[in-house]
Amino acid sequence: MHKIKSHVSVVMPDPENPRLTERVSGMDHMGNPVEVSVPVERALTLYLNSQEIVTMMTINDYPEYLALGYLLNQNMLKPTDIVTGIDYDDDLQVVVVRTGSGTNFEQKLKKKTLTSGCAQGTAFGDLMEALETISLPEAELRTSWLYRLTRTINTTPSLYLEAGAIHGCVLCKEDTPICYMEDVGRHNAVDKIAGWMYQNGVDAGDKILYTTGRLTSEMTIKTVRMGIPILVSRSGFTAWGVDLARQAGLTLVGRARGKRFAVLSGQERIVFDDDPAAVEEEPARIQRKAGRHDD
């Protein structure tokens, strides 16, 4: 199992990066001129060796991590596959992941009748099969960690606070964020974390994954495939997300805002070591998306 390297740097959002936002002029509800910051979407086409896999819309701040994480989380790249290189061309908006030999996914492509959604559809059955074979490690989530984490994440300078219209995913150890990724889709943000973990040899067994988005089947599957035993969100759940989490033994914590949260799977990992009465409610000034609705 990968161990985290001592020299690995903590990754945090860079809201000052001029490539990630644009100032756009418009009009407010009173008819007055306004200028707002909006995130910039870019197309990124991913190749695995010579096979075109998918074109994604992304803010494209970490294309190499996104490419690796996508392939790993879609079961197109195995942890045992040897990655010999990752080539990114900013002008062409193309990233190519190269392996030492043909991958399992490429062999399966030859045996299947492909549709327009081949990259996703081909991998789906394998994802579900892999979900049944993964055993998540024992771990714990102390409520004191959870309370401190949610406040720290919600007050960290981020692209969300700068421009909105974006999701964030954060890899944490106890009550400390160590890799905070943002993107226009939460699936991109979590894939970038997966790629970062793979590249830096980070052990998933004692980590917590936090997301600003809903706890869907997709988020559950990706978290389990990454080997992370605890998934936390400030938003709500879907029924299939909860069902899959229970099957896989994943701890699923949703609606985590201020002192409040709900656990619908893996309750045995929760350690109640803090008094909720001593925890402040989430101030309105730091309320993020889904503060009032599970969207």
Strands 33-39 and 21-27: antiparallel
Query: Looking at the DSSP assignment, which residues form a beta bridge with residue 51?
Result: 48
> DSSP readout, 215-284?
B-HHHHHHHHHTT-SEEEESS-B-HHHHHHHHHHT-EEEEEEETTEEEEEE-GGGEE--S-GGGSPPPPG
Alpha-carbon distance of 293 to 295, in angstroms, equals 6
Q: What is the Rg, in whole angstroms, of the alpha carbon atoms belonging to the chain?
A: 19
Q: At residue 28, what are phi and psi to the nearest 5 degrees?
A: -90, -175
Q: At residue 144, what are phi and psi to the nearest 5 degrees?
A: -65, -40
What was the pLDDT predicted at 4? 45
Residue with tokens 């043909």: 102
- Taking only the tens of pLDDT, the chain with its 295 residues reads 334 444 567 999 999 999 999 999 999 999 999 999 999 999 999 999 989 999 999 999 999 999 999 999 988 888 888 999 999 999 999 999 999 877 667 666 554 433 333 334 444 556 676 677 888 999 999 999 999 999 999 889 899 888 888 999 999 999 999 999 999 988 999 999 999 999 999 999 999 999 999 999 999 999 999 999 999 999 999 999 999 999 999 999 999 998 899 999 999 999 999 888 888 777 665 555 444 434 4
- Measured between alpha carbons, how far apart are the two ends of the chain, in Å? 36
What was the pLDDT predicted at 110? 53
What was the pLDDT predicted at 81? 87
pLDDT tens, position by position, 241-293? 999 999 999 999 999 998 899 999 999 999 999 888 888 777 665 555 444 43
Whether the Cβ atoms of residue 190 and residue 214 lie closer than 8 Å to each other: no
Half-sphere exposure (Cβ direction) of 269: Cα atoms closer than 13 Å:
28
What was the pLDDT predicted at 287? 57
